[in-house]
Structure 1
Amino acid sequence: MKIVCIFVEGNNGLWSIQLPGEPQHEFDKFFNAINDVEWLKNFFTRNEDDLCSGYFRQVNVNNAVLKTFEEAAGMEDALYTYWEQGCLHRGGSLEHLFKPLHNFEYAVGFHQKSKARLRNGWLRLYAIRLDRNCFLVTGGAIKLTQDMHRPHLQQELRKLAITKGWLQEQGIHFPEDLNTYQED
């Protein structure tokens, strides 16, 4: 597994994992997919039952693609804005966007599994929290259901668990460890 910096200043920032054998790191992989019309049409067609279930009101495939484009742009802007505010100590930080993975978690934990989403959005960016303004992205998904039982969401949960274990094995506990980590 590789660690790739997305935007970093000192110990603040957003990093991403790159899984062995994958040509892209997970941050780029997610944003490339959700900005690809064909990929989105295929995804929403395959998941049309969930799309029309009413969890996000009934939406057709074409409107879902447009909604996803808008939400993706908003999420990218929010990520950069919160990171920048955290670096400049202006009251905001990435922790305002990333929340604990489970809605019933209220305390910040060590290597906490986290998710970023916009209000009323279906895009999720999954990450491990290392500090208030430092997250390691493990993947992302379109979440059309209340639970995490769909195969593509289960895959994201597995990547979170694998990454958390890998960080512990590598002795990566704090943001400064990301800056000094060297691949074998």
Structure 2
Amino acid sequence: MEISGIFTIQKSTLFSVAYDGEVMEFKRLFDQWISDIAYLEAFFEENKADLNSKFYSSISIEEAIQRTRKQAVLFRNNFLQLIQNPNSEKLQFIFRPLNNSEYKLKSLSKEKSQADWLRIYAVRISENTYVISGGAIKLTQTMNERPHLQAELQKLEMTKRFLIENGLTDESDFGFVEFDY
């Protein structure tokens, strides 16, 4: 596992995990959600029953693809604007504890950021330092209902363990890494 900086502007720092020589998760997710139509078609075909649930009012695969691509662009732009504007709100305001019943912010907590059914999962280091472990399209109420969401829970736990084992538990442990997305 490797951790790379995505953005380091002023006091806001967003990092992303890259698994076994792969591209950073942040980049991989947005590339998939915005540009990889074949991936989206296969995903929604595999999860067609979730799209046909009363919650989503039986939207078509084509509508789901369009909705995902549009939301992904807005979601990515939200991250970019937040990081690039030093006077904007803190990253902690776009991330929430993974468990909806948790309200206390703490270091090394598992968190999520969401836009529609898109999720970015991260480990919180401090109010403005997060390490992204992955993300997913979440069409069900809980993460335990689908294998791809269970895999994201495992990636979150693996990332948290990696951070602890490597002494990366405070924002000062990361230094100032600059990386252009």
Structure 1: state its 5+ residue gaps: none
Specify the SS of the correspondent of 1:129.
Answer: strand
Given candidates 120, 130, 135, the residue that maps to 1:135 is: 130
TM-score by length of 2: 0.91
Q: Is the CA contact 1:83–1:133 (under 8 Å) kept in the aligned structure 2?
A: no
Q: Is the CA contact 1:11–1:176 (under 8 Å) kept in the aligned structure 2?
A: no
- Supply the distance in 2 between the matched residues of 1:81 and 1:106 (Cα, whole angstroms): 26
Residue in 1 aligned with 2:112? 115
TM-score by length of 1: 0.89
Structure of higher RCO (CA pairs closer than 8 Å, 6+ residues apart)? 2
Given candidates 135, 138, 159, the residue that maps to 1:163 is: 159
The percent identity for this pair of structures is 34
Task: Report deviation, 1:115.
Answer: 0.4
Residue in 2 aligned with 1:48? 48
Specify the SS of the correspondent of 1:117.
Answer: strand
Specify the SS of the correspondent of 1:7.
Answer: strand
Q: Deviations over 1:2-45 (max 9, x none)?
A: 1111111355211101112x421111111111121111011000
Are 2:126 and 1:126 equivalent residues in the alignment?
no
Are 2:142 and 1:147 equivalent residues in the alignment?
yes
- Supply the distance in 2 between the matched residues of 1:83 and 1:132 (Cα, whole angstroms): 13
Paired residue type of 2:169: H
Q: Is the CA contact 1:82–1:96 (under 8 Å) kept in the aligned structure 2?
A: no
Specify the SS of the correspondent of 2:107.
Answer: coil
Residue in 1 aligned with 2:22? 23
Give the RMSD, CA atoms, in angstroms.
Answer: 1.5
State the number of aligned residues. 175
Residue in 2 aligned with 1:62? 62
Specify the SS of the correspondent of 2:158.
Answer: helix
Structure 2: state its 5+ residue gaps: none
